[in-house]
């Protein structure tokens, strides 16, 4: 349940941000770490012929472009932060899937409180380290070795250690932002990496429009209009919610009688925010990255099927849609537990009008949540697929690798971070009122 207080305007928010010392320090921490993470992308891994490597990645498939964008260009520049936040994201996927399947982990998350969450976080770090080691060894031994100036075991070991260290630093930076900064650290790092790729994409698009004549201008305008419509749609999905009315029973404290109070329970259309998109994208690029590392024919064939410009675009669209729906439902079950919600309402003496407390309430909330999650997931899937189809139809490839997935992440992270800043501003305002 949320307050009915009016949210501050943008001008009020900026003024109170400037005045709130606690929020200022959080913003400085966030900005400083994000700048430091970007610097690491340009610190080169030594011992590689970069000209040969740059030629080898020309014309790579769009999933490589997406992977490169998620790492902030680290893969194409071969910086020590080439892996970026991806090992941590993949580890989070693995742990959350195992949490739903293994009762011991589920008990840690739900019943052990803060201590249980710390153990889950520590386990995620260990899995992230293991995943980073595997990826780093593959990159050094299979992908980069042909371009090494002095190929051999020492080159593989040094390169793998550098990449693992960079990935662990980025993981630490993301957690530090989440704890002491503003917003979700992992999401913000991906957000900044995507923003860093926008100037080059816009420059290529303007160049295409200038050199391609009137027809090229028309195709670029169509694509940009589709992106604009998608942004509006994403905002509606991120902000959309179903308000379930809640009635609190009359209660008497001493001689004072408190009247029946009405409020509402907001169930969001997209409970998981931007994380289902990030997780679906990470899973989708896994076959392509493994195919690049291992040169395995079977993996290369699978990767070509689920590539947006591959031999079977329908397979890519269907796979992407299924993954988005799956992770949307998965996150909805993690964020809202109908049984726990029903018990909490009963303890507070509150109920939903026309719905009996207990099992009937949990069943009702579950039905509403399932319908909302399905609608939100399908819409997100369509928003993710339609711009890619338009790119293929208009033959404008300047946003290749950026596309709708990155657009969803940009808008979603921006909305979530803005809401968290507003929450800090409102809490600061209330603290000031209480002190007065």
Give CA–CA dist 428/248, Å, rounded. 28
pLDDT of residue 145: 80
Residues of the chain falling short of pLDDT 70: 1-21, 56-74, 249-260, 273-274, 288-296, 299-300, 302-313, 388, 392, 397-405, 428-436
**Domain 10-435 adopts which CATH fold?**
Preprotein translocase SecY subunit (1.10.3370)
Q: Where are the domains of the chain?
A: 10-435
pLDDT of residue 161: 92
320 to 281, 294, 316, 367, 377: CA distances (angstroms)? 8, 23, 6, 25, 11
- Max CA distance (Å), the chain: 86
Tens-digit pLDDT profile for residues 25-68: 888 888 999 888 888 888 888 888 877 777 766 655 555 555 66
Element (H, E) at 245: strand 241-248
Could you tell me if 419 and 186 are in contact, meaning their C-beta atoms sit under 8 angstroms apart?
no
In the chain, DSSP finds a helix count (H) and a strand count (E) of 17, 5
pLDDT of residue 409: 77
| Nearest residue to 292 (alpha-carbon basis) of 34, 18, 64, 5 | 64
> Would you state the structure tokens that stand for residue 92, as one six-digit string?
């989070």
Name 93's Cβ contacts closer than 8 Å, sequence gap at least 6. Answer: 279, 282, 283
pLDDT of residue 2: 37
pTM: 0.73
Could you tell me if 341 and 365 are in contact, meaning their C-beta atoms sit under 8 angstroms apart?
yes
Residue 350, classed as helix, strand or coil, is strand
- Helix-, strand-, coil-residue percentages of the chain, each rounded to 5: 75, 5, 20
Give CA–CA dist 35/182, Å, rounded. 15
Residue 59, classed as helix, strand or coil, is coil
* Beta-ladder partners of 200: none
Tens-digit pLDDT profile for residues 71-102: 666 677 778 888 888 888 888 878 877 887 78
Residue 53, classed as helix, strand or coil, is helix
């Amino acid at each position: 349940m949320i307050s009915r207080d009016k949210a501050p305007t943008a001008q009020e928010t900026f003024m109170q941000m400037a005045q709130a010392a606690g929020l200022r320090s959080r913003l400085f921490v966030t900005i400083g770490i994000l700048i430091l993470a970007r610097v690491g992308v340009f610190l080169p891994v030594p011992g590689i012929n970069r000209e040969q490597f740059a030629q080898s990645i020309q014309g790579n498939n769009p999933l490589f472009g997406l992977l490169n964008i998620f790492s902030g260009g680290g893969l194409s520049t071969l910086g020590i932060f080439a892996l970026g936040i991806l090992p941590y994201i993949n580890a989070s996927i693995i742990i959350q899937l195992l949490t739903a399947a293994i009762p011991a982990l589920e008990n840690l998350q739900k019943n052990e409180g803060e201590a249980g969450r710390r153990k889950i976080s520590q386990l995620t770090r260990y899995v992230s380290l293991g995943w980073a080691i595997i990826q780093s060894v593959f990159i050094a031994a299979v992908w980069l070795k042909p371009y090494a100036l002095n190929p051999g075991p020492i080159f593989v070991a040094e390169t793998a250690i550098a990449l693992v260290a960079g990935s662990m630093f980025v993981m630490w930076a993301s957690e530090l932002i989440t704890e002491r900064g503003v917003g979700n650290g992992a999401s913000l790092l991906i957000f900044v990496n995507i923003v860093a790729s926008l100037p080059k994409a816009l420059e290529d698009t303007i160049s295409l429009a200038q050199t391609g004549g009137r027809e090229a201008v028309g195709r670029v305008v169509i694509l940009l209009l589709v992106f604009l419509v998608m942004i509006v749609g994403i905002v509606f999905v991120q902000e959309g919610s179903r308000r379930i009315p809640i009635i609190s029973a009359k209660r008497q404290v001493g001689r004072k009688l408190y009247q029946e109070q009405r409020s509402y329970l907001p169930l969001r259309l997209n409970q998981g925010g931007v994380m289902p998109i990030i997780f679906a994208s990470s899973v989708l690029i896994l076959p392509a990255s493994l195919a690049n590392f291992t040169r395995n024919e079977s993996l290369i064939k699978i990767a070509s099927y689920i590539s947006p410009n591959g031999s079977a675009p329908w397979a890519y669209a269907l796979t992407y849609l299924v993954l988005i729906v799956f992770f949307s439902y998965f996150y909805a079950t993690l964020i809202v537990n109908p049984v726990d919600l029903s018990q909490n309402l009963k303890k507070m003496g509150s109920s939903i009008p026309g719905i009996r407390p207990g099992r009937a309430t949990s069943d009702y909330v579950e039905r509403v949540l399932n319908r909302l999650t399905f609608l939100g997931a399908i819409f997100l899937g369509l928003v993710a697929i339609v711009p890619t189809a338009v790119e293929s139809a208009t033959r404008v490839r300047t946003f290749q690798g950026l596309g709708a997935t990155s657009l969803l992440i940009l808008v979603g992270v921006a909305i979530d971070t803005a809401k968290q800043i507003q929450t800090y501003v409102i809490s600061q305002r209330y603290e000031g009122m209480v002190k007065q």
